[in-house]
Amino acid sequence: MSYVVITSREREELVELFFKLRKKGELHPHARAEALTALRCLKAVHSNAIEDKKVDRIFLQVLLHGAGVEDKSLISNHYNNASHELRGQEKILRSLEEQAGQSTPFSLSMLLEMHHGMFEKSWPDTAGRFRQGEVRIADMAHRPPHYSKVQEQLYQSFASINDRLFAIKEVTPENFFEILQLSAEVHYLVAQVHPFEDGNGRVARAAGDYAMLVHGFYYDVIMQDYRSFYLDAMSESSTQDTAPLRQFLEYSYLETLRRIAGFFELIENDNR
C-alpha cells in the first residue's frame, strides 16, 4: 500500500481552509469565478496527462489555450486528438458547473453527455456510447461487469448516491467528509464499471468532482505528479470500501485548496 493518508491535524486544516475560502468566495464572487476557471483548466490538463503519457503537460497547456500552430493535425494526429479531448473536457466541466447550480441528479444521460462532449471529435464512432464488449483495466486485478450489466449497475448506484447527495442541504464541518466520501464513491463506481471503451478515467474524475460542485466545492485537481498514489488508492479500493480513494482525495483536495489560498490573500490585500 503506497497511497497517502493525511494526519488528523491536516484533516482539520482541510475543513478550516474550505470554510475560509468559501467565505472569501462569497465576499469576492469574481475572484471565486476566476479560481474555478483556473482549476477547471488545470484539471483538464492533468486529468488528460494522467491518461496520456505521449504528450507532455507543457504541450497540453499549449493545446488547451489554442496557442501555436492552428491546425495541430499538421504536427501529429495524436497531438490533434489530444487538443480535441482537452477542449472537450474543459467544455464539459463548464457544463457540469451549470448543472450543479441546478442540482441536476446523476443519470445515465448525464454520463453519456460527459463522454460525448469529451471525445466527439477524437472518437466519433464511440463517443457517448456505452461499450458493447468485454474490457480489462490495465494494471488492475478488478474485472468490469459484463457490458449487458453496465446500465443496470450504474442506474441502481446513481439512485443511492443521489438520495444521499441531495439529502445534504447545507455543508457543515460535521458532514464535510461525507461529501468527499460520496465523491469517492461515484468516482470509483464509474471507473470500476468501466462503461465506455476508453476515456473512463477522465469521466470518472469529472463525475467525482460533480458530487462536490453540487455543494459549492471547488474542483479537486488530481495532479499528474500524484499519479502513482492515485492509482494505488484506486487499486486498494473496492465497491464495498472506497476509503483508500477517499483518503487520497482528502490529500489531493488539501493540496488544491492550498494552491488557491494565496490567490484569495492577494485579492484581500488589494482590497484593503
Q: Which amino acid is at 79?
A: Y
Residue ranges and CATH numbers for the domains of the chain are 8-270 (1.10.3290.10)
- What the block records as the C-alpha cell of 261 is 489560498
Count the neighbouring beta carbons within 10 Å of the beta carbon of residue 164.
Answer: 14
pLDDT at 268: 79
Question: If DSSP states are collapsed to H, E and C, what string results for 205-264?
Answer: HHHHHHHHHCCCCCCCCCCHHHHHHHHHHHHHCCCCCCHHHHHHHHHHHHHHHHHHHHHH
Specify the residue for cell string 492509482.
Answer: 231
pLDDT at 120: 97
Would the pTM count as exceeding 0.85? yes
Closest CA to 245 of 226, 224, 259, 231: 231
- What the block records as the C-alpha cell of 157 is 448506484
Q: What is the pLDDT along the chain (272 residues), one digit of tens a residue?
A: 466 889 999 999 999 999 999 999 999 999 999 999 999 999 999 999 999 889 999 999 999 888 999 999 999 999 999 999 999 999 999 999 999 999 999 999 999 999 999 999 999 999 999 999 988 776 666 789 999 999 999 999 999 999 999 999 999 999 999 999 999 999 999 999 999 999 999 999 999 999 999 999 999 999 999 999 999 999 999 999 999 999 999 999 999 999 999 999 998 777 76
Question: What is the widest separation between alpha-carbon atoms in the chain?
Answer: 60
pLDDT at 12: 97
CA torsion 140→141→142→145, rounded to 10°?
Answer: 110
